[in-house]
Amino acid sequence: MPKALVTGITGQDGSYLADFLLEKEYEVIGMVRRTSTINFDRIRHIQDKITVVQGDLLDQVSLINLLQEHRPDEVYNLAAQSFVPTSFQQPVLTGEFTGLGVTRVLDAIRIVDRHIRFYQASSSEMFGKVQEVPQRETTPFYPRSPYGAAKLYGHWITVNYRESYDLFGCSGILFNHESPRRGLEFVTHKITHQAARIKLGLADELRLGNLEARRDWGYAPDYVRAMWLMLQADRPDDYVVATGETHAVREFCQVAFECLDLDWEKYVKVDPRFYRPAEVDLLVGDPSKAKRKLGWEPSVTFRDLVRIMVEADMTTLQAMEDHTPRV
């Protein structure tokens, strides 16, 4: 039975990857940081099927110990400080986790077992102020946030360890990928959740920043499949994973509210507080290499993605309403 270590297993991608790996009959080891309260909501349905262990991207020794104890065949590094606005407020911490944390994992692999296959979760935010459209593996990077800069370091250190130590290290340059498990602080889930609350009479407006920002949005379970495919290839490489379509935040709002028979323009308000110090205006990926070499294809359209998220939020909120005591 193959064994995989997943950092960031309690996040959106980590939980879907764990689901996927279990279906592939892997033994799954999930790394979490020690905190007084750990949120297991996304993995509660599989908690008895995986092994949850404590480790920290800031602690090199903990990573070495985990690799020595569990001897995984594959390591998926999904843990990070992953919220772009927070990276402007906490740039040093973002660099430690999202940048140097990658080096600590790679060096632990170098020390313990160089045969371990490694996946690094890179990001389309590395393209930032885009130098060409669409963005592909050869497009020059120009990050526009501390998060993007930290991810860029993680990307290049993965390439460096691959070339310096002959490690099987892959960097997946994933464009935005969403799902009902997305954190509520992310704009997509903020939109669908608040739209559902408005529909149920629990809210009367939705405040957002730049409605014209355009992103390439896909479905998270499709993207974790791409991660796995990268580590099954004969040779390590870097891949853009995207849908090849771009949509504005405005359009995401329109589709979400249409799913609920609402006019989005009546409820959405632009709030300058949510503007970034340096905006990324347009991201759209070219996934042709992943399609050609890995046989990967997205399975969910943009409109279906929005519908899935809206329906999930409606179901969750209605269930909460049903269990709320009436006074």
- Residues serving a catalytic function are 123, 125, 147
Total Cβ atoms within 10 A of residue 247: 21
CA 74, CA 63: separation in Å to the nearest integer?
14
CA 75, CA 158: separation in Å to the nearest integer?
13
Q: Are 102 and 154 in contact (CB under 8 A)?
A: yes
- The token pair at 140 is 């020059």
Beta bridge partner(s), residue 30: 6, 52
Please choose, from the candidates 50, 32, 23, 40, the residue with its C-alpha nearest in 3D space to the C-alpha of residue 221: 23
Beta-strand ranges (E) seen in 190-267 are: 206-208, 214-215, 218-219, 238-241, 247-248
> Residues 6 or more apart from 36 whose CB is under 8 A from it?
none
Task: Report the b/e string of 287-311 with b at 16+ CB within 10 A.
Answer: bebbbeebebebebebeebbbbbbe
Cis check: omega of the bond before 221, within 30 degrees of 0: no
